[in-house]
Structure 1
Amino acid sequence: MKIEIGESLVSSYLNHVLGCRIIQTNWKTSGNWTIAEGEKSRAKAFYQDIIGSGHFDEIFKESTFDQLLKQAEIDVLGINTSESTVYGIDVAFHGAGLNYGSKEETADRILKKVFRTLFVMQTYFDQYYQFQSIFITPKTNQATLVLIEDLIEKAKGLIHDESISIDFITNDDFFDCIVAPTIKASKNENDTSELFLRSVKLMQLDSRKNLSITKDVGSKSIPSSSNGAVSERRTKKGMKIGQYVRHTFRTAYEQGLISKGEIINLQDPTYSKQTFNANFEVLRLNTRSISDAGGRTRYYAKEYYCDKYYLTSQWVESQWDLYLNWLKSINYSDSSS
């Protein structure tokens, strides 16, 4: 199977920057898969919100929800199992700038692709918590970009669920948020079969000063994109938030830092909301279900924490400071872990 350089870049980005342990290019559905109505419900509700908004009438006028699922192909799908996050990234390389016809047709096509990827991930990977649908391209002309960004902002206004996000990344943001961090994160990967990284290694062999385009990229900072898109993920001791929470919960309990009173607090939805901005109680007794009322898994199932409790798996970037403040309140220190 032929792998395009854009798909290889995205694969390397998902692998080395976003920490995905499962990556598949040209991901497609199968007609043999059976999807229950309950598995479609979350994506279908969002689809209804979109078509009812009045902003995207032209995009979906010839496509039902089920047709969108059947037509699905995602350029690169990545799953970060430790963070319960699924990424669907579509990529286009057009030398003269992103172009699928007129600027209006191009904008509509991009939004349809972004939405469809999100619907598919929510439906076929329902057991995961977070979903990010991203379209990236190195060059978009200003007239087209204005239309796409306007539609993206309108779409974001319809999202009232912190577990899903959409983004369009192009022009300088493409290089600052995708290319640069990928090169930086993979600089010590000397033995790789990844096409993009092998291309980078080749360019780094060029000793001619003016053509050594990858020499300084490792020192660049990684800003957020202009539409609030992907930025460098915060880590502690090399771990993203979900993995770090599990690690520190184990260690803190082993060190006797989580008291019986605090365990009671952590089972209280109000305390969990006020302390961590969590939508579920942080700890749940192991005799209870790990799923919510809609049947979606909300707790880590393979391990008990604090002796006999499930730990919620619903952690997002915005909770970092709240969680670190809680660790400080129980006198936890990374130096002792």
Structure 2
Amino acid sequence: MDIGESLVGSYFKYVLGCKIVVYNCHLEGNGEIDIIALAPDGSRVYLCEVATHLRGLLYGDSNAATCTRIIHKIKRAAAFAAANFPGRVPVFMLWAPVVSRGLVRDLFAIKENCPVSDITVELVLNRDYTACIRRLRDAARQNLKTTDEPAFRLLQILEHLR
């Protein structure tokens, strides 16, 4: 798990209240899902790609290559959810703190015209990502208990410095 994944996983645990959060789930054949989280009421399963690229999200050498890879990840996540979480609403989430305007536009086009009908796509990009991390910082400010989440523990320490 990298620190970006720990931030996002901490958000699911400490902001959304998810009790089950799994990191780096390796899929049969090829690939992995960075984070899988089960909604507190069990109705939804979140399947997350976390791309903490501080110079801007990019897979390959173009926005088109990035979109192709994201579509592939959505399809893999949908198949995984269908096989392992029947009866739950699957939600694919892409978390990225820095995404160019052009790529944001392209990603929203994918979201609106999702290539897979049985999965919801949510994008947590740029300002939305920042807003989520601010909510996580607020949770860290309120929580003094030791945690096994490295990113959340760091936020706790930073929020309680005197």
Partner Cα separation in structure 1 for residue 92 and residue 154 of structure 2: 26
Partner Cα separation in structure 2 for residue 136 and residue 169 of structure 1: 5
**Deviations, residues 191-241 of structure 1 (Å, cap 9, x unaligned):** 22211112212322455xxxxxxxxxxxxxxxxxxxxxxxxxxxxxxxxxx
Partner Cα separation in structure 2 for residue 112 and residue 204 of structure 1: 38
TM-score by length of 2: 0.86
Aligned residue for 2:16, secondary structure, equals coil
Equivalent residue number for residue 187 of structure 1: 141
Partner Cα separation in structure 2 for residue 118 and residue 135 of structure 1: 14
Partner Cα separation in structure 2 for residue 6 and residue 142 of structure 1: 21
Quote how far apart the aligned CAs of 1:187 are. 3.4
**Deviations, residues 265-286 of structure 1 (Å, cap 9, x unaligned):** xxxxxxxxxxxxxxxxxxxxxx
**Aligned: 1:90 with 2:45:** no
Which residue, 97, 100, 103 being the options, matches 1:141? 100
Equivalent residue number for residue 79 of structure 2: 119
Partner Cα separation in structure 2 for residue 75 and residue 110 of structure 1: 13
Is contact 1:7–1:76 with CA below 8 Å preserved after alignment? yes
**Deviations, residues 50-76 of structure 1 (Å, cap 9, x unaligned):** xxxxxxxxxxxxxxxxxxxx3241101
Structure whose CA Rg is larger: 1
Quote how far apart the aligned CAs of 1:99 are. 1.1
Quote how far apart the aligned CAs of 1:81 are. 5.5
**Percent identity between the two aligned chains:** 27
**Aligned: 1:13 with 2:16:** no
Is contact 1:111–1:148 with CA below 8 Å preserved after alignment? no
**Deviations, residues 143-188 of structure 1 (Å, cap 9, x unaligned):** 22222222221118x64x6xx4111221111111x21222233433
Which residue, 106, 113, 122 being the options, matches 1:154? 113
Equivalent residue number for residue 126 of structure 2: 171
Partner Cα separation in structure 2 for residue 185 and residue 80 of structure 1: 18
Partner Cα separation in structure 2 for residue 125 and residue 98 of structure 1: 29
| RMSD (CA atoms) | 2.1
Partner Cα separation in structure 2 for residue 72 and residue 95 of structure 1: 22
Which residue, 192, 204, 207 being the options, matches 2:159? 204
Partner Cα separation in structure 2 for residue 105 and residue 151 of structure 1: 13
Equivalent residue number for residue 106 of structure 1: 66
Aligned residue for 2:55, secondary structure, equals coil
Is contact 1:114–1:135 with CA below 8 Å preserved after alignment? no
Aligned residue for 1:11, secondary structure, equals helix
Quote how far apart the aligned CAs of 1:8 are. 0.4
Partner Cα separation in structure 1 for residue 39 and residue 139 of structure 2: 16
Partner Cα separation in structure 2 for residue 203 and residue 149 of structure 1: 34
Aligned residues: 160
Partner Cα separation in structure 2 for residue 82 and residue 110 of structure 1: 28
Quote how far apart the aligned CAs of 1:9 are. 0.9
Partner Cα separation in structure 2 for residue 79 and residue 13 of structure 1: 13
Is contact 1:79–1:85 with CA below 8 Å preserved after alignment? yes
List alignment gaps of at least 5 residues for structure 1: 31-69, 208-337
Aligned residue for 2:75, secondary structure, equals helix
Quote how far apart the aligned CAs of 1:4 are. 0.7
Is contact 1:75–1:90 with CA below 8 Å preserved after alignment? yes
Aligned residue for 1:147, secondary structure, equals helix
**Deviations, residues 282-323 of structure 1 (Å, cap 9, x unaligned):** xxxxxxxxxxxxxxxxxxxxxxxxxxxxxxxxxxxxxxxxxx
My pick for the range that moved more, 182-191 or 136-145, is 182-191
Equivalent residue number for residue 22 of structure 2: 24
Aligned residue for 2:18, secondary structure, equals coil
- Structure number with greater CO (CA < 8 Å, separation at least 6) is 2
Partner Cα separation in structure 1 for residue 40 and residue 55 of structure 2: 37
